[in-house]
Amino acid sequence: MKKIAIIGLGYVGLPLAVEFGKKRVVIGFDINQCRINDLKNGVDSTLEISSEGLKNAVHLSYATNVNDLKDCKIFIITVPTPIDKHKRPDLTHLEKSSEAVGSILKKGDIVIYESTVYPGATEEVCVPVLEQQSGLTFNKDFYCGYSPERINPGDKEHRVTTIKKVTAGSTPEIATEVDELYKEIVIAGTHKVSSIKVAEAAKVIENIQRDVNIALINEFALIFNKLDIDTESVLKAAGTKWNFLPFRPGLVGGHCIGIDPYYLTHKALEVGYNPEMILAGRRLNDSMGSYVADQVIKLMNKKRIHVVDANVLIMGLTFKENCPDLRNTRVVDLVKEFEGFNCNIDVYDPWVDKDEALHKYGINPIDQPSEGKYDAILLAVAHDKFRDLSLAQIKAFGKDSHVLYDIKYLLKANEIDGRL
């Protein structure tokens, strides 16, 4: 069997390395020495793989030096593809990874990309880098594949082995080899497509569809709020029809839904098409943090709570429930908005790594909220640890007169002051 290198050991790369490491010789590569040290000691800071799970990958070893990958024949690149401050695709990680792999690329090798990109990026951006670094010719000396990741951080049911895998290759023969490779670990099966561009496009629209649907529900929530109608009651009623989609309003962040649309819109604009619906959905979802903060401030004013120097507790910082993932969390929008009102903000999230939160966002989460301290309390993330708290326990954090706002529908409508 061909030896595999997995480039990038984050939420996507590590589970993949572990599964392949049960069957083949695999080297997991990451430039973060601390990450490698933790994994060697059986610790996964993302909490996706248990210590026992790491031990079960008996053929998996780790490296931080690209030269240790020279004997590998298959390279799977799983690095992040974020956006920059102007909401443009940032392919820096992808390009640097391609440079590293290109420096050791040999005749007959296959480079497979799992990172989310716009249609055409693999062959237009990555392949030229591989050719330049290696001196080899694409589809003659080396080949490429694409199999988009479908990881859902914190989800213990939908795992890399239980989610159907889309696969593609740069030639029909390579497409088959890539497909057979993933069939070794994916019990849910694979779906081989006709080209790398098709696979790239399929991945990027999966999350755009969710983004647009959530934007629609967020717009419903804005309208119903003005009409003094409870949004959840409306959605529950509409949900009694078999084909009504069960989306809920909220802050839309994370490494996929809040980012992927900008990859397709970038490419669409490049070829002369203005993607109005996609961009409209993005604008609406990006505005929800500001909307929530404004609603809370209005509720505070109604209760004659002085806003300047008010103590605000935000419960939750991660982009989704029950995981430590802070990538592109939109809870930071709430923090910025309340800072703009000169409030004092405490962020409480037992899931997060405090050093990471401080490094990424300049936010220093508290260990535990103080009782009787807060003028406003926001339930921003639906962690089970928050669900387990009673209404009395949550309200105990507040002063005698305070605002309780529920973004995630953890409490009943008659128990809170406001929600989306």
**Which are the catalytic amino acids?**
256
Task: Kindly state the helix (H) or strand (E) to which residue 346 belongs, with its residue range.
Answer: strand 344-348
Q: Which residues contact 327 (CB under 8 A, 6 or more apart)?
A: 80, 82, 253, 254, 255, 319
CB 290 within 8 A of CB 353: no
SS3 assignment, position 25: coil
Q: For residue 111, what are its two tokens? A: 């480079």
Q: What are the structure tokens assigned to 347, written together?
A: 């962020």
Side-chain-facing half-sphere of 195: CA atoms under 13 Å: 8
Contact 216, 246 (CB under 8 A): no
The rounded Cα 119 to chain-centroid distance in angstroms is 19
**Token representation of residue 92:** 């820096």
Pick the closest to residue 375 from 309, 288, 294, 291 (CA basis): 309
Sort 417 into a burial class: Cβ within 10 Å, 0-12 / 13-18 / 19+. middle
Helix (H, G, I), strand (E, B) or coil at 221: helix
Is the CA virtual torsion 396, 400, 402, 406 positive or negative?
Answer: positive
| Residue of 266, 277, 327 lying closest to 89 (CA atoms) | 266
Q: Which of 98, 115, 99 is nearest to 260 (CA)?
A: 115
DSSP, residue by residue, 31-60: S-HHHHHHHHTT--TTSSS-HHHHHH-TTE
Residue 138 sits at φ, ψ, to 5 deg, of -65, 140
> What are the residue ranges of helices labelled H in 362-404?
384-387, 391-395
Contacts for 23 with CB less than 8 Å, ≥ 6 apart: 1, 59, 184, 185
